[in-house]
């Protein structure tokens, strides 16, 4: 990465020795070490900047916990991990469809009202209500089982 043009260690310049500004082998080593030290520092600074920047910056390989305010989000994995599905909070969903039927393992209700999840389509089967703002783990009967969902639990 770092190159100093016009100078090569061990080249003929060193052997002439008449100019006091010539860089000897030891000095050259010091320069190289110093440069690589600085390079390392720059690398570390860049790395820590990247780590600090990560939480505020959505990137493609970040876990998908994203859920817009006002939405109801279903997650493929527990603890709001894996793929997610965002649903409009005021819309009832009688059937989650083939892609998300019996799939969710956690739910984040970012809507303003209670949300009910059901293990069968058309608001039947086991029912569980999730308060507004709650992040809900789906376990046992509810894990990989949710098939419909109603806003306000009126379904």
User: Site residues (CB under 5 A) for Ca ion?
Assistant: 102, 119, 145, 147
The Cα angle at residue 73 between residues 72 and 74, in degrees rounded to 5? 130
Closest residue to Ca ion using C-beta atoms: 147
Least Å distance between CB 74 and Ca ion? 12
Using the structure block, give the residue that is written with the tokens 């860049």: 46
* Complex with Ca ion: residue 9 or 155, whichever CB lies closer: 155
* Complex with Ca ion: residue 8 or 83, whichever CB lies closer: 83
Least Å distance between CB 45 and Ca ion? 51
Sequence-ordered strand ranges (E) for the chain: 71-75, 84-88, 106-109, 115-120, 124-130, 135-137, 148-151
Least Å distance between CB 102 and Ca ion? 4
Determine whether 152 is exposed, middle or buried from the number of CB atoms within 10 Å of its CB (0-12, 13-18, 19+): middle
* Complex with Ca ion: residue 48 or 124, whichever CB lies closer: 124
Lookup: tokens for 18: 């008449």
* Complex with Ca ion: residue 93 or 147, whichever CB lies closer: 147
Residues whose CB is less than 8 angstroms from the CB of residue 145 and which lie 6 or more positions away in sequence, other chains included: 102, 119, 125, 126, 138
Least Å distance between CB 138 and Ca ion? 11
Least Å distance between CB 146 and Ca ion? 6
* Complex with Ca ion: residue 65 or 95, whichever CB lies closer: 95
Helical residues (DSSP H) of the chain, grouped into ranges: 12-16, 25-53
């Amino acid at each position: 990465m770092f190159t100093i043009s016009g100078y090569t260690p061990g080249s003929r310049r060193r052997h002439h020795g008449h100019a006091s500004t010539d860089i000897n082998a030891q000095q050259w080593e010091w320069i190289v070490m110093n440069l690589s030290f600085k390079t390392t520092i720059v690398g570390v600074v860049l790395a820590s900047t990247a780590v600090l920047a990560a939480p505020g910056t959505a990137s493609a390989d970040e876990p998908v916990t994203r859920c817009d305010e006002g939405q109801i989000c279903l997650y493929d994995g527990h603890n709001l991990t894996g793929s997610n599905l965002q649903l409009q909070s005021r819309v009832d969903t009688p059937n989650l469809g083939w892609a998300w039927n019996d799939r969710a393992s956690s739910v984040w209700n970012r809507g303003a009202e209670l949300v009910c999840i059901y293990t069968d389509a058309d608001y039947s089967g086991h029912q569980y209500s999730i308060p507004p703002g709650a992040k809900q783990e789906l376990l046992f009967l509810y894990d990989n089982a949710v098939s419909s969902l109603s806003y306000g639990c009126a379904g």
